[in-house]
Amino acid sequence: MSDKVNIQLIIAGISFSLLIKKEDEPIYRYISKVLNNLYVSFSQKFPGKEVHEYLGMAIIQFAYDILSEKKEQTENSKEINLLKKLDEKLELFLAEQDVL
């Protein structure tokens, strides 16, 4: 039994047939929804452009949002690691002082 499924996504009126892992289908459907929403938003803000221009704007915005989120998570992870190290040092110091 294959865990792959063929799905049909429609983005900006264009049909895309994809063979994907079944468990990834909700992710692909969500991506399609986000890209369609961005497409509509850009087509309303900037009337008169070609479909590929709106799709390009949507893809750039989508990628930017993902990378910004990833950067924020990385920065938060660094801050968490620094706080953990500080906590460890503080515990050692307090243990040496017989406070703990």
What the block records as the tokens of 72 is 């924020």
Q: How many independent structural domains does the chain possess?
A: 1
Tokens of 17: 């047939």
pLDDT tens digits for range 12-67? 999 999 999 999 999 999 999 999 999 999 999 999 999 999 999 999 999 999 99
Largest CA distance in the chain: 73
Full domain range(s) for residue 37: 4-96
Q: Which residues contact 20 (CB under 8 A, 6 or more apart)?
A: 4, 5, 7, 28
d(CA 3, CA 21): 6
**Contact of 81 with 53, CB cutoff 8 Å:** no
pLDDT of residue 52: 96
